[in-house]
Every structure is written in C-alpha cells, then in structure tokens.
Amino acid sequence: MQIPYSQVTPQRDYLELSRRRFIFRSMAAAAGALVLPQLLTGSGVKLNGVVKSSYRVDDKMTPYDVVTGYNNFYEFGTSKDQPAKLAQKLQTSPWTVSIEGEVVKPRTLDLDQVMKLAPLEERVYRHRCVEGWSIVVPWIGFSLSTILKQVEPTSKAKYVAFQSSYDKKTMLGSFQAGIEFPYVEGLRLDEAMHPLALLCVGLYGESLPNQNGAPLRLVVPWKYGFKSIKSVVKIRFMEKQPPTTWNLSAPSEYGFYSNVNPEVDHPRWSQAKERRLGEFLKRPTLKFNGYGDQVATLYNGMDLRRYN
C-alpha cells in the first residue's frame, strides 16, 4: 500500500547529516580524473507500485551517492556539495502545486492528489549539465502532460511557466546566490506536452531527496539540466514566452530553449564534449542529449544556433 505523502516524515528529521557529507574533488587539472567517494545511503521513502517504462537508455546508471551528492540547487548553495547538507531545511510537507493562467479549470493539488493522477514509472534518462558534466538517472514519475491536461488549456496557451518554492528564511538570498528568486523556468506548450517531459517525484526507487528537488520537479532530458526546475509550486499557462531565471541572469549565455547542442559553444567553454560523473575520460556530447529521434521534429525550421 502506498504511503500518502502527507504521512511521510520530512527528510530533515531522519537524515544523519554528519555521516553523509559529500566531498567531490576534480583531478582534471592533474590527471583528468574524478574522485567520487561514497556517501548518502538510502534516505528517501520507498515508492511502491513503480513500473519500468520503455523510456530508458542503455547507458550505465550513475551511482545514487553521486546523483544525490553533487547538485546544482542555488537556493541551498552555489557549490555542488552544499545542497546535500543545506537543502535539509526545505519544508516538503505539506506541499501544493497550483496550475493556473490560460486554462478552463485552474486547480491546486496537494501531493497525494498528484500521486493519484497516473501510475508511477521508472525512466532511465541521460541528464546533461551546461557546465560539461552528465549523469544517468532512474527517475520516477509520469509524463508532465498528465497534470497539464487536468486544467484544460485554452486556445491562447502557447507556453507553460514554472516556479520553484522560495523561503527567504531557509534559503539563500538573491545577492548571495547571484540569481533572482524565486527560480522560474518555461517551456513551449508542445515541449511541455511531449511524453518525454517528466513530472518527477523520485529516483532509484525512492522519493526525491531534498537536494534533488523534492518533492516535485521536472526532468526534460533533451535540454540542459537547469531547465529541469526543482521543488515546483506553480505552473502557469501563458500566451507569451515566460521569463526564465538563467536567461534573465545571463541572456548572452543561456537561451530560452537551451536544447543540448554540441555545435553551439557556451561563451566561456566548449559544449562538444562532456564528462560522465564517475568516468575518467570525456565523451562526445550528443545533440538533444541523444533524444533527437523523439524531439527534433519539435524544432523543424528553427535555427538552433540562434534559438539556443
């Protein structure tokens, strides 16, 4: 029997932080290697009834300890090891997500309602960061389109905007993090409705750890990782293209679409290769992160160097 999220003990109450601190060292300057020591044993709540989806790559999965110990989550630190410690302040219960804007039936759902919308699937996706590293994760959730269809978008809806939770008492301020909060992201409506776009509630058979975006996040596998917004509290259908955090912060570096494109360099580094965390050598970056067969038609006729 699935435990309701309202009855789940918050992770901050049972994580033993002192023995689960992550230390990540890059030896690239000396030998091109990564040292990935073990930390973080299982800390989430087991998710029952999860089925294996056909949406899965054959790549070797990145170890749980790495996935949960090396994170971008600027609300809880700008260094990769900080969120695993500081994100335990995140209050994940109770939690609601509002769906509003250009819709016929706006709704506010709590987590128990979200979990009942569709069977949970395990999808093994590649995840590529704009900084040049990548991971392969068995995410758990269901297609984002499932929740979006609940509110019946109007004919004016062309985009979907997302907003993360923000609590200035427990999270960094914008000045400290270097970006504006709350964190916002956006997709074109057809991107958001694509079956690969995942509304995610877990990984490796368990509920999401706080540092990975608990209790509810997006995973958009053909785009750079910052598009997969964490700890979502608001979804809004819009007629015009919504603002996005990194595009606002550095428009010359981060475009709205942010599809993985090795042919377009970041202004400060090449995107042609990536380092899979835990591996010694770099590998070629795949266009659309290897999902071109599924998503390339979304961008027919677009200049993907201009609209990056």
Question: Residue 67: which domain range?
Answer: 5-299
What percent of the chain stands above pLDDT 90?
A: 85
Q: How are beta strands 133-143 and 273-276 bridged, if at all?
A: parallel
On whether residue 306 sits in a domain, the answer given is no
Task: Give the model confidence (pLDDT) of 102-147 as tens digits.
Answer: 999 999 999 999 999 999 999 999 999 999 999 999 999 999 999 9
Task: Give the model confidence (pLDDT) of 13-23 as tens digits.
Answer: 434 333 343 33
Please state whether 18 falls in left (phi above 0), alpha (psi between -120 and 50) or beta.
alpha
Q: In this structure, are residues 229 and 94 in contact, taking their beta carbons and an 8 Å threshold?
A: no
On whether residue 308 sits in a domain, the answer given is no
Ranking 39-43, 102-106, 207-211 by mean pLDDT, the lowest is 39-43
Whether residue 183 is predicted with pLDDT greater than 60 in this model: the reply is yes
Residues paired with residue 141 on neighbouring β-strands, in sequence order: 121, 200
Q: How many domains does the chain have?
A: 1
pLDDT given for residue 13 in this prediction: 42
**The amino acid at 127:** H
Whole-number Å distance between alpha carbons of 164 and 232: 4
Which of 6, 82, 73, 17 shows the shortest CA–CA distance to 45?
Answer: 6
Which of 14, 61, 58, 22 shows the shortest CA–CA distance to 40?
Answer: 22
> What is the average pLDDT across 95-108?
98
On whether residue 126 sits in a domain, the answer given is yes
Confidence of residue 249 (pLDDT cuts 50, 70, 90): very high
Model pTM score = 0.87
Whole-number Å distance between alpha carbons of 39 and 129: 22
pLDDT given for residue 44 in this prediction: 81
On whether residue 224 sits in a domain, the answer given is yes
pLDDT given for residue 43 in this prediction: 57
Which of 291, 124, 129 shows the shortest CA–CA distance to 225?
Answer: 129
Give the CATH number for residue 43: 3.90.420.10
